[in-house]
C-alpha cells in the first residue's frame, strides 16, 4: 500500500537572496504542523551562470510511524511548486522540465539579473522578458509573477521573504497564513522587516498592487532643468519630437560624463543628421533618433578617467553599503582589480605624448613593466581612494588626450557617412548608424569591436551603389555581433562581390586602437 503523496517544491535563488532561509522557513512551517520535511540543495556557480536549487519534499506524518522515502532532487513533471527569484531562473526551470501545466504553481520575480552570456554578447544579448513570461503562462498550471525584488527593496528585506508571502497567498500549500508568519517569527532574525516583506509579497500575489510600467523609448523622459534647461529648450525647438527622448538622455549622460559644453557639442554634431533626416526621411525621424542614441553612447566612451570617476563616486559607496546591508559597527572593504594596458596609459596622456609612447619601443617596454601584472586597489582606504581620485580629476584634460582625438575622428567619419548615405538611401544610412553597436566597452573588448566597426565602414563604402546595400550591411553587422573573433564577419566579407580587408587581419591596429 502506497503512502500519502508528497508535496514537492523547487526554489531557484542566487547568492545573497536568502534561498536557504526560505527553505528553512518551509521546513519549520511543515514540521510544526506535523508534517515530515526534507530539504537538499545543489549550489550554483559564480559569475551569474546559474542559481542554487533548493528541493523540498513535504509529507504528512504516517499514524503508523512509518518513515517516508523522500527524493534528493526534483524530477521533471513531479514538482508541485517552483519558486524563482529572477525571471531567467524561471525560464531555466521550465527548460529543465520542472514546470508542468497539469500540476505546477510557478512563482517568479519579473526583475532581471543578466547572465554572463547576455553580458558578454557583442550585441544586445538580453533575453526578451515577454518571451519568458509567455513561456511561464504556457508551461505552468498557475503563474504568479511580479517585481518581488522591488518589494524587497522597499521593505528593507530580502526577496526570499517576499516570495514566502506570495507562496502563502497562492494557496499552493495547505497551511494558513498565520502559520507562515509564525515560521518567520521562530526564525528570530530580521523578523519585523521579513514580516513587512511577507505582507508585500502576499499583496502582489493577490494582484492588489498595480503593475509596474516597463520602460519605453517612446515615452519622453523628464524635462531638462537647471544648467541644462537651455539645451532642453534647444531640443524642443530644433529637433523632431520623435527624437526628444534619446536626445534628452544623451544630454544628461554627456553632461555627467564631461560637462555642459560637451553635451552642447553633442547636439551640434547631430545638426547635419537632423537636416538630412528632415530632407530625405520618411517622417519617422528614425535616423535622427537612432544616431542620437548611438552617438551619446560613443561620446561617453569608457576610458581610465571614466572608470576612476565611477569607482570613486559617493553614490557608488552608498549603493555597495546598501546592497551588502552594512550595519552599524561593521567595516566594509572594497577591492578593485585594475589591469591597464600600455595602450590605455597612452590614451590618457596628451595626444602627442601618447602617440610618442606607442611609437617608442623602449618607452612601451618600460611602462609595460609597471602595468603587466595588474594590481588591487582598495578604494575604501585613503591611499587607494586618492589614487583613483587623482585619475578621475583628469577629466578637464580629457579633450587633449590621445583617446579623445582618435574617438572624435572616428565619430566624425561615421556621422559624415550617415549624412552622405541619407541623400540616396535612407535605410542604408540607418544601417550605417546602427553599426556603432560594435563600439563598446574598454581594453580588448573595445579594440575588437572597433576593429570590426572599421571593417564594416570599409564595406559600406563598397556597398553604397547597390540596391540592397542596407540589407547586406546589416547582415555583415549581425555576423560581427555574433562572433567577437571576427571569423564570421570575415566569412561574410569574403562573399561580397568586391573583396574587403578581413576583420581579423589587422593585428597591427589592435595594438594601437583606443582601449
- Residue 323: per-residue pLDDT: 74
User: Which CATH number covers residue 103?
Assistant: 3.40.920.10
Stretch among 96-110, 250-264, 350-364, 501-515 having the lowest mean pLDDT: 501-515
Same-domain status, 18 and 167:
yes
pLDDT-derived band at 140, boundaries 50, 70, 90: very high
Per the structure, the complete domain to which residue 115 belongs is given by 7-206
Which of 352, 379, 400 is the C-terminal boundary of a domain?
400
255-271 as b/e: b if 16+ CB within 10 A = bebbbeebbbbbbebbe
Q: Report if residue 371 sits inside a domain.
A: yes
Asked if residue 346 and residue 271 are part of one domain, the reply reads: no
Give the residue-averaged pLDDT of 66-95: 87
Q: Are 88 and 124 in contact (CB under 8 A)?
A: no
474, burial (CB in 10 Å: exposed 0-12, middle 13-18, buried 19+):
middle
Confidence of residue 238 (pLDDT cuts 50, 70, 90): very high
Where a domain ends, among 378, 400, 422? 400
Residues 6+ apart with CB under 8 A from 319: none
Q: How are beta strands 35-42 and 335-338 bridged, if at all?
A: unpaired
Average pLDDT over all residues of the chain: 85
Counting the structural domains of the chain, the total is: 3
pLDDT single digits (tens) 438-485: 888 777 777 888 888 999 999 999 888 888 899 999 999 888 887 777
For residues 364 and 406, the answer to whether their CB atoms sit within 8 Å is no
Split at pLDDT 50, 70, 90, the class of 139 is very high
Q: Identify whether the C-beta of residue 82 lies closer than 8 Å to the C-beta of residue 8.
A: no
Bridge partners for 84 per DSSP: 12, 108
Average pLDDT over residues 349-365: 91
Residue 474, domain member (yes or no): no
Among 469, 464, 477, 472, CA closest to 434: 477
Sheet holding 105-109, edge to edge: 35-42, 52-60, 7-13, 81-84, 105-109, 142-146
The string of pLDDT tens digits covering residues 96-132 is 899 999 999 999 999 888 777 776 666 667 778 888 8
Positive or negative: CA dihedral 444, 446, 451, 455 = positive
Confidence of residue 42 (pLDDT cuts 50, 70, 90): confident
pTM above 0.75, yes or no: no
Closest by Cα among 408, 402, 398 to 439: 408
- β-pairing, 7-13 vs 81-84, is parallel
CA distance 443 to 344: 7
Amino acid at each position: 500500500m502506497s503512502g500519502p503523496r508528497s508535496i514537492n517544491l523547487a526554489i531557484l535563488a542566487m547568492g545573497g537572496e536568502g534561498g536557504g532561509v526560505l527553505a528553512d522557513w518551509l521546513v519549520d512551517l511543515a514540521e510544526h504542523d506535523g508534517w515530515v520535511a526534507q530539504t537538499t540543495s545543489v549550489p550554483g556557480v559564480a559569475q551569474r551562470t546559474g542559481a542554487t536549487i533548493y528541493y523540498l519534499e513535504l509529507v504528512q506524518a504516517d499514524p503508523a510511524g512509518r518513515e517516508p522515502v523522500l527524493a534528493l532532487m526534483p524530477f521533471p513533471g513531479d514538482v508541485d511548486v517552483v519558486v524563482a527569484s529572477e525571471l531567467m531562473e524561471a525560464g531555466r526551470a521550465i527548460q529543465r522540465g520542472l514546470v508542468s501545466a497539469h500540476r505546477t504553481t510557478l512563482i517568479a520575480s519579473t526583475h532581471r539579473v543578466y547572465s554572463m552570456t547576455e553580458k558578454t554578447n557583442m550585441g544586445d544579448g538580453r533575453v526578451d522578458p515577454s518571451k519568458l513570461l509567455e513561456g511561464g503562462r504556457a508551461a505552468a498550471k498557475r503563474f504568479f509573477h511580479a517585481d518581488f525584488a522591488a518589494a524587497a527593496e522597499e521593505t528593507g528585506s530580502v526577496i526570499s521573504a517576499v516570495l514566502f508571502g506570495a507562496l502563502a497567498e497562492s494557496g499552493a500549500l495547505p497551511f494558513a497564513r498565520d502559520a507562515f508568519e509564525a515560521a518567520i517569527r521562530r526564525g528570530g532574525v530580521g523578523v519585523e522587516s521579513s514580516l513587512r516583506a511577507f505582507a508585500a509579497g502576499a499583496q502582489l500575489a493577490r494582484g492588489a498592487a498595480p503593475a509596474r510600467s516597463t520602460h519605453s523609448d517612446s515615452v519622453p523622459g523628464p524635462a531638462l532643468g537647471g544648467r541644462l534647461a537651455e539645451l532642453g529648450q534647444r531640443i524642443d525647438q530644433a529637433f523632431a519630437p520623435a527624437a526628444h527622448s534619446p536626445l534628452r538622455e544623451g544630454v544628461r549622460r554627456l553632461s555627467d560624463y564631461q560637462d555642459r559644453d560637451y553635451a552642447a557639442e553633442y547636439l551640434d554634431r547631430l545638426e547635419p543628421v537632423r537636416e538630412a533626416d528632415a530632407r530625405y526621411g520618411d517622417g519617422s525621424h528614425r535616423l535622427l533618433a537612432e544616431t542620437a542614441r548611438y552617438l551619446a553612447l560613443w561620446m561617453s566612451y569608457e576610458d581610465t578617467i571614466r572608470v576612476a570617476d565611477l569607482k570613486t563616486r559617493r553614490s557608488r559607496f552608498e549603493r555597495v553599503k546598501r546592497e551588502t546591508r552594512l550595519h552599524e559597527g561593521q567595516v566594509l572593504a572594497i577591492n578593485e582589480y585594475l589591469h591597464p594596458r600600455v595602450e590605455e596609459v597612452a590614451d590618457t596622456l596628451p595626444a602627442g605624448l601618447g602617440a610618442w609612447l606607442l611609437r617608442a619601443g623602449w618607452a612601451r617596454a618600460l611602462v609595460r613593466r609597471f602595468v603587466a601584472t595588474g594590481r588591487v586597489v582598495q578604494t575604501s582606504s585613503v591611499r587607494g581612494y586618492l589614487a583613483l581620485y587623482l585619475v578621475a580629476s583628469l577629466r578637464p584634460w580629457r579633450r587633449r588626450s590621445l583617446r579623445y582625438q582618435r574617438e572624435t575622428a572616428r565619430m566624425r567619419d561615421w556621422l559624415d557617412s550617415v549624412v552622405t548615405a541619407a541623400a540616396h538611401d535612407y535605410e542604408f544610412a540607418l544601417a550605417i548608424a546602427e553599426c556603432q553597436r560594435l563600439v563598446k566597452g574598454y581594453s580588448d573588448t573595445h579594440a575588437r569591436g572597433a576593429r570590426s566597426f572599421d571593417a564594416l565602414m570599409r564595406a559600406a563604402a563598397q556597398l553604397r551603389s547597390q540596391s540592397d546595400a542596407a540589407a547586406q550591411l546589416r547582415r555583415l553587422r549581425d555576423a560581427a555581433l555574433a562572433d567577437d573573433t571576427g571569423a564570421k564577419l570575415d566569412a561574410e566579407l569574403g562573399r561580397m562581390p568586391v573583396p574587403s580587408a578581413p576583420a581579423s587581419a589587422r593585428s597591427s591596429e589592435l595594438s594601437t586602437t583606443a582601449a
